[in-house]
């Protein structure tokens, strides 16, 4: 048996057996979060478009991302950032990478 097949089998076991009822939930990948270091189910959807969204989904757990959303609101309010302004968006993305512990792109 190759390793990919073993991985699928392990995932099926972890998801509660062979009845297939939870098959859909099991499609969600388990990730190790770069911020808190915990294993968690990945967000079901990338939180934003593009490569960055895919990276965040791959590396950050939903609970840490929720922390960032709170932080983002504070930053936007504190600095009066405008999402329509490309410079402000860039600042916010950099702040997000710092906050979540993602490597600078
Ligand atoms: Zn986390």
CATH of the domain at 27: 1.10.3880.10
Q: How far is the CA of 41 from the centre of ligand 1 (A)?
A: 10
Ligand 1 centroid to 19 CA: how many Å?
31
Write down the pLDDT at residue 33.
97
Q: Which of 46, 104, 36, 98 is nearest to 71 (CA)?
A: 98
Asked whether residue 47 is assigned to any structural domain, the reply reads: yes
Quick check: 43 and 53 in contact, CB under 8 A? no
Residue 69, domain member (yes or no): yes
Cα dihedral 55, 58, 59, 61 sign: positive
Tell me whether residue 33 is in a domain. Answer: yes
Rg (CA), the chain: 17
Q: Which domain holds residue 18?
A: 3-100
| Rounded distance from Cα 42 to ligand 1 centre (Å) | 10
Q: Give domain status of residue 19, yes or no.
A: yes
Distance from Cα 30 to the centre of ligand 1, integer Å: 12
105 inside domain: no
pTM of this prediction exceeds 0.85: no
Total count of domains within the chain = 1
pLDDT in tens, the chain (105 residues): 555 555 554 554 445 445 555 555 556 789 999 999 999 999 999 999 999 999 999 999 999 999 999 999 999 999 999 989 999 999 999 999 999 999 755
Q: Cβ(47)–Cβ(56) under 8 Å? A: yes
């Amino acid at each position: 048996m190759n390793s990919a097949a073993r991985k699928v089998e392990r995932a099926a076991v972890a998801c509660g057996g062979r009845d297939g009822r939870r098959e859909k939930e099991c499609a969600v990948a388990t990730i190790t979060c770069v911020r808190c270091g915990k294993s968690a189910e990945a967000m079901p959807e990338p939180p934003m478009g593009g490569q960055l969204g895919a990276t965040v989904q791959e590396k950050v757990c939903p609970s840490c991302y929720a922390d960032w959303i709170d932080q983002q609101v504070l930053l936007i309010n504190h600095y009066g950032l405008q999402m329509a302004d490309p410079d402000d968006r860039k600042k916010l993305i950099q702040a997000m990478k710092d906050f979540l512990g993602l490597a600078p792109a």
